[in-house]
Amino acid sequence: MKKLMLWMGGVLSLYASEGAALFEKHCSACHSSYIPMSKVIANAEQNNTLLHLKAPTLNQLSFGVKLNVGDRKADEEAQQMEVEEFIASYIASPQREKSVVPKELTHFYPDMPPMPDLLNEEEIEALSSYIFAYGEAMIEKHSVRNYTFEEAVKIAKVQKKIIMIRGVLPFCKWCIQMDREVMVEPEVREMLESSFVVVKTNVMTEKLPLGMKSLGTPSFYFIKSDGETIIDQLNGYGDKEEFLALLRRIKEEAGE
């Protein structure tokens, strides 16, 4: 089993490497790689006068195919196959009405030309795998690290930090939006790393500690560094400024 897992990991790594090279060669002249969604949205509100982009960014494409192509509730491999078919079709015959990125973020871009012979089947598979995985990889790269509750308690006690539990569901629209637009912001990450230890909990499959009950999703549960004293519990989506204001309030109430 261990050899099988190592082999599968090697295959995935190979596809990621090949996909990145294909993107750089064939796509990067028009599609930028990672730009935070806050900047992408601000740019769209100014009719592309801030960033002067030529096409949607790679993270936009990744988020778009994961959200709009195939069944997100099916297994990942099945959805990835549907994404592969979609990308092959779109490259061959791009149409605005088939775009997976909201039109309010794309209406100012020129039409993409059809390129039916650009890639062979194996290259399409590698590029699709790379695009599919890219968005989540960028969220992980730019967000604070998540711990188990047990790990968080140990860290909090030593470093005198507040424990923040995020209650989420895999298909919760607002949880996904917070991951993509709020948790990746540098100011948010800086404040969380300096004063908090973060736990991310699927409230459908995992119990909350200390007898707390789920408030829905997204929800937040703050605990003092002793791992026992609950500071506050609340639910709802907040943008970057609202979330930073919440964190500042929690710090004041914790008195740590």
Over residues 91-119, the mean pLDDT reads 94
pLDDT tens-place string over residues 26-66: 999 999 999 999 999 999 999 999 999 999 999 999 999 99
pLDDT(127) > 80: yes
At 146, is the secondary structure helix, strand, or coil?
strand
| pLDDT band with cut points at 50, 70 and 90 for residue 16 | low
pLDDT tens-place string over residues 64-78: 999 999 888 778 889
**Average pLDDT of the chain?**
92
How would DSSP label each residue in 89-122? HHHHS--GGG-SS-GGGTTTSPPPPP-TTSS-HH
At 193, is the secondary structure helix, strand, or coil?
helix
- Give the distance between the most distant pair of CA atoms in the chain: 63
The phi and psi torsions of 126 (rounded to 5 degrees) equal -65, -45
pLDDT(174) > 50: yes
Residue 196, strand partner residues: 162
* pLDDT at position 22: 96
From the list 124, 139, 121, the residue with the least C-alpha distance to 63 is 139
Domains of the chain, first to last = 2-141 (no CATH), 146-254 (3.40.30.10)
pLDDT(1) > 60: no
pLDDT(2) > 60: no
For the sheet with 219-223, list strands across it: 146-147, 196-202, 162-168, 219-223, 230-235
